[in-house]
Chain A
């Protein structure tokens, strides 16, 4: 495997280095795993998303960039920025030193607010922002890297959107935090941008702010996490596969699900424990020392996929009208399952989840990975089975309250919406009124498209199809999701 990786011609040098590090980590066993956990892992029911055997950094890190802009960094020898070029420069340096599971930062901050104080001359600012974004795209070669803007309107926010429309690059991913304060102008500009380049997504600011008692960041695909904290690990359960171990829905709810959840929680604890107590991250990282991160703002994520398949299995639902996303009965069962998981997760107090979260982990509706088959992302209605938009939203929204650290749906709009972006804003407003947490959109004409949560360029996937090298590892994931999970065959919304 090592030699194979070294000799490979269709991954880049950086991708090789990362792959080799993974192989090294994979060669040791330091975590305690129970027999039943091992069995679940072997059967593909529980999966740690290739986090590795000996985790030496938290999976997701959400530095307090505001603080960094105020104080600079002793360790990096950076002074507090005084103009736009210094600001952009400082951020780009810091990003290189923010670890994550992919080795690249998954969160870049509320970049509009960070840059706004330095915006004087708009044409110079536009150049700085464009170079900044281009730099991020070419050096953080992984679209789990996520920037935020909003909810308030800023000059920087408009410039960022404009630059993203012009550049049409997959990285960084972008989310606009939306609330009643967000102006119609900024929101429609965001929609126009998403129709060109599949971002930003819309986050229901009120919901997130309530759940995170203030500042939060949208990171990686769509994960809500606490600013100044993050998530040590994400372990997930495949509910579709799990449901096959139960003979009835009663058995599933009373026995199968609680049993697997217990193993999951212990495994999340075990992984977190290693990071916290063994890896030295929380003692040695300058991010901690300089106050950009606090251990108590970290938690663990309890993820799940395949709710739809799980419900359909348990009900033996074949005909469309009986299936998840259509029948009342199926949806009720779906909610019961998610409520149950939420209660189990909340009921598990552990020293390995931060005090900020009352020492609990968070439930996360995971978007799936490229090799998933027959497991739809989290609570999503399977691609290809989407009901009409209104029903889609009304059925999906009730699930969103249970997953503070991430859940969302993606809608594809046809080109007619470009001349009426307010229509999409009306739909988003309605969705948020109905407590939807997160809403993504793109147009069927975009080159950059959203796969399950992250972004890829269709043209790059075509290169990969031909066996050529590509810069971003997420392109490889996108190709898998396209081939295995029909992730690009979403229902097109017209009229």
Chain B
């Protein structure tokens, strides 16, 4: 089966996407639209309108048969295309088959503990990823396969069964506990996120939970408190991340504020007091 996926970027060495050194694969497209997204161009798929072509001074973009083609070798990474995209997307994505990705992993296999799929939202490409992970396990059984997800789809549905089974562990974002807040921040409900948090904890497939802390507009204490209560029984890491303005869309930046170090430390203390075994504030 020649299943393909749009991939925004592959990072050969990443130290922040799970245990050890990992290859991180960023899939294009997301089902959330978070205000503070650092890579907003990974949210939507390109509609091949062609607007970006004229902004590319390096001749790296071309429209062929109605489809935008990006020539990586010519690109100077000026990101003018992204800044001028008609829908905040990016033409700089490539289509990969499972074997294409395997080829990339093959290059770094001695240097990594495993691979992590991320996004955009990786779980939207779950069929591709299931096949990819199967291949990885066949070829290099010692490499672990992690999924970084916003938890927006319900992993208990039958269609995700194989995907969840083949995945060694998940890293789940819990962006806000309060439903209204979550909808305001991401555009969608957090019902599935919380369900997944409980489910993944129960089946021992949760490596890490992440919460991005934004000052004032989010009830960070509520989120940290509730997440902590759920993950405190097991060795699950809670990463409490300070919001930073890098890469965030200009029109959103105004209302988003970073918490102080003290607020971060207080949240960590809260988690520790609720018996979370491992916490990290960054």
Contacts and interface: CB of A to CB of B under 8 A. Distances in A.
B20 A420 contact: yes
A430 B282 contact: no
A427 interface: yes
Interface stretch (B85-93, B108-116, B127-135, B164-172): B108-116
A390 B111 contact: yes
A427 B111 contact: yes
Contacts of B282: 416, 419
Contact of B111 (A416, A420, A426): A426
A422 interface: yes
Contacts of B125: none
Nearest to A415: B282
Interface stretch (B10-18, B147-155, B215-223): B10-18
Contacts of A434: 110
A426 B20 contact: yes
B236 to A, nearest CB: 15
Given A388-B12, A495-B11, A495-B15, A423 B20 contact: yes
B245 interface: no
Contact of A430 (B14, B19, B110, B280): B110
B239 to A, nearest CB: 9
Nearest to B24: A495
Given A422-B20, A422-B21, A417 B15 contact: yes
A424 interface: yes
B62 to A, nearest CB: 22
A429 B110 contact: yes
Interface in A390-425: 390, 393, 416-417, 419-420, 422-425
B110 A433 contact: yes
A321 to B, nearest CB: 10
Interface in B76-120: 107-108, 110-113
A180 to B, nearest CB: 14
Looking at A389, A417, A426, which has the most chain B CB atoms within 10 Å of its CB?
A426
B108 A416 contact: no
A430 B111 contact: yes
Interface in B1-51: 11-16, 19-22
A495 B111 contact: no
Given A419-B280, A420-B20, A426 B112 contact: yes
A397 to B, nearest CB: 11
Interface string A369-402: 0000000000000000000111001000000000
A495 B110 CA distance: 18
A425 B11 contact: no
Contacts of B20: 420, 422-423, 425-426
Contacts of A493: 13
Interface of A: 388-390, 393, 416-417, 419-420, 422-427, 429-431, 433-434, 493, 495
Rank and list the top 7 A-B pairs by shortest CB-CB distance, nearest first: A430-B111, A426-B21, A423-B15, A423-B21, A430-B110, A433-B110, A422-B20
Given A422-B21, A427-B13, A493-B13, 4 more contacts: A390-B13, A419-B280, A420-B15, A426-B113
